[in-house]
Structure 1
Amino acid sequence: MTDLCPRFEGAMGIISKRWVGLILFELLDGTKRFSEMESDLPISGRLLSDRLKMLEKEGIVERHIYSEFPVRIEYSLSEKGTALEPVIQEIQNWANDWVTPENAQKD
């Protein structure tokens, strides 16, 4: 048996972290404020913040800070993050074909 490619293993380590897929799916629609994502996703603000920081560190998500009052912070996919769109769409297609509502994980 061949060893997994370290790059593939690294990529899977990033996108398989809990909630990362949903965050990326959310950002495929365009730039979002933190509060928008927090209300749209079933995730705590602290965990969302942690995941966004991790994705920003990986260069997948960009954070834009606007010096207004109150300060406005928006998140969007970088070029690297946007390159994941076909991957996310294919996972969605696979889920539509193979994952039944009874088998979908609900937390």
Structure 2
Amino acid sequence: MGDQRFKSSVEMTLKVIGGKWKLVILCHLMDGVKRFGELKRGMPDITQKMLTQQLRELEDDGIIHRNVFVQVPPKVEYSLTEYGRTMEEVLHMLADWGQKHQERVEVLT
């Protein structure tokens, strides 16, 4: 696991899903299609600017789909692409690890 290919692959993964908010956004979208306001309400600590930026980056990487409805007022919905759905197993593994880590921290304190 210490070879250069492994390290490069991890680095590439973090370029796509790294940061404080992208994984949280993906978790929300695992539940289905969401509008911007729904995502913002689900993540009250994220700024509107940061949410917009993170959504754009995920869209650029083909992880999410942005569907714009031509109407007044404008309506935009976000969903996972088929490719984005391949992250589901990774998210479950991260959640399992996080739960175990939380339990470990609680035992140590």
TM over 0.5, shorter chain: yes
Larger radius of gyration: 2
Query: Is 1:91 paired with 2:94?
Result: yes
Gaps in structure 2 of 5+ consecutive residues: none
The alignment's C-alpha RMSD in Å is: 1.9
Partner residue in 1 for 2:68: 65
Among all aligned residue pairs of Structure 1 and Structure 2, give the percentage whose two residues are the same amino acid: 29
Query: Is 1:53 paired with 2:56?
Result: yes
Q: Post-superposition shift, 1:100? A: 4.4
Q: Post-superposition shift, 1:94? A: 1.2
Q: Post-superposition shift, 1:8? A: 3.1
Matched residue of 2:4: which SS? coil
Task: Tell me which protein shows more helix as a share of its residues.
Answer: 2
Of residues 19, 29, 46 in structure 2, which corresponds to 1:43?
Answer: 46
Letter in 1 for 2:36: F
* Runs of 4+, deviation exceeding 6 Å: none
Q: Relative to 1, partners in 2 of residues 1:50 and 1:99: Cα closer, same or farther, differing over 3 Å?
A: same
Partner residue in 2 for 1:21: 23
Equivalences, count: 103
Question: Which whole-Å deviations, capped at 9, do the CAs of 1:27-54 have from their partners, x for residues lacking one?
Answer: 1000000011011102011000000000
The two structures have a TM-score, normalised by structure 1, of 0.86
The two structures have a TM-score, normalised by structure 2, of 0.85
